Amino acid sequence: MIKFYKKDSKLYSIVKNCCPKCHKGKFWPTDNPFKNIFIKNGGDLGCCKNCSFQFEIEPGFWFGAMYVSYALSVFFSLLVWLIINLINENIGVFMSFCIVALSIVGFSPLVYFYSRLIWINLFVAYEK
């Protein structure tokens, strides 16, 4: 498989579910977003087990991840809408709406998982 990210890049931390500061400890308890939501109750680890970095930098820090979550939801919605319209050109507006709405619900664990990782990586730099 071709890797499109370097080990010390922010993309590495996002894709590999790593601490944004050391890239060694984990951010979420598991790498599977669905397992993380439905089995681990959707909580991050709180702090890195390798470097002890507190993930919630300030109170209310994760509210900003909602903006990332919104952008990711719009992206997935447009992608699903484009795919279903490429597969079936005669699909109705109501049916398209229903499929896109269901896909938003289906993708929500993924969106939640990656929105927090992207948000924290906007503010925390990698330190060797």
* Shortest Cβ 19–Zn ion spacing (Å): 3
* Distances 5 to 9, 14, 73, 111 between C-alpha atoms, Å: 7, 10, 23, 20
The answer to whether 100 contacts Zn ion (rule: CB under 5 A) is no
Nearer of residues 23 and 72 to Zn ion, judged by Cβ: 23
Does the footprint of Zn ion cover residue 22 (CB under 5 A)?
yes
Q: Which is nearest to 116 in space by CA: 51, 39, 29, 50?
A: 29
Side-chain half-sphere CA neighbours of 65 within 13 A = 17
CB nearer Zn ion, residue 47 or residue 100:
47
Q: Give 27 or 112: the residue with its C-beta nearer to Zn ion.
A: 27
- Closer residue to Zn ion in complex, CB, 10/21: 21
The neighbouring-strand residues paired with 47 are 54
Q: Taking the complex as a whole, how short is the minimal distance between the CB of residue 111 and Zn ion, in angstroms? A: 24
20 makes contact with Zn ion (CB under 5 A): no
Tokens standing for residue 49: 């087990």
Q: Which of 6, 28, 1 minimizes the C-alpha distance to 17?
A: 28
25 lies in the site for Zn ion, by CB under 5 A: yes
Kindly write out the interface string for residues 39-78 of this chain, putting x where it contacts Zn ion by CB under 5 A and - elsewhere: ---------x-xx-x-------------------------
Q: How far apart are CA 52 and CA 57, in angstroms?
A: 12
The residues of the shown chain that bind Zn ion, judged by CB under 5 A, are: 19, 21-22, 25, 48, 50-51, 53
